[in-house]
Chains A and B, each alone.
Chain A
Amino acid sequence: KQEVTQIPAALSVPEGENLVLNCSFTDSAIYNLQWFRQDPGKGLTSLLLIQSSQREQTSGRLNASLDKSSGRSTLYIAASQPGDSATYLCAVGAGYALNFGKGTSLLVTP
């Protein structure tokens, strides 16, 4: 069974810092990896999707990388802002649905 782990579970940084969220998975036979953002009491918003043949994807201040052979992905957030405060979820796709990590709760303080 695919196991997805996210480290750290929680992170607090001052505004303006660059930060890295980590995701690891146990089975490298994946189709893709997707990063989501979830605000308290809300649904999941897709941030970035990386196909298994790709090494990274970028969207604005976000950059996600994928190393399938080592079972790792990172989400890099540049110049963090208080509005980035949320829970970030990593999910691995290997068929019809996704296997999720438990998330990293990010707080960016002014």
Chain B
Amino acid sequence: AQKITQTQPGMFVQEKEAVTLDCTYDTSDPSYGLFWYKQPSSGEMIFLIYQGSYDQQNATEGRYSLNFQKARKSANLVISASQLGDSAMYFCAMREGTLNTGFQKLVFGTGTRLLVSP
């Protein structure tokens, strides 16, 4: 079974608009972490945002916010006020367990390609 599912292979958004990238996950571990990474065409992987399973508030980092719905096992990334430089692949990832229990693998989804148009 897929641990991380990103159902949108591609998304289009106009500059200055908001966009939501979907991510659902599957785990039976009560302790886990959810991440979003950005991969521009240059290839590097850039950490965007993190949400812990016990965090009460949705994570925010500048224009990025994570819409965490624990009961639905979803962790959607919201990018507000899209910019041309946001065009990239976006990967959702999950870490099960905590560092104290032994670092678990960071499992990635298949990614969503976002294209921001002028």
A and B interact: no
Interface residues of B (CB under 8 A from A): none
Interface residues of A (CB under 8 A from B): none
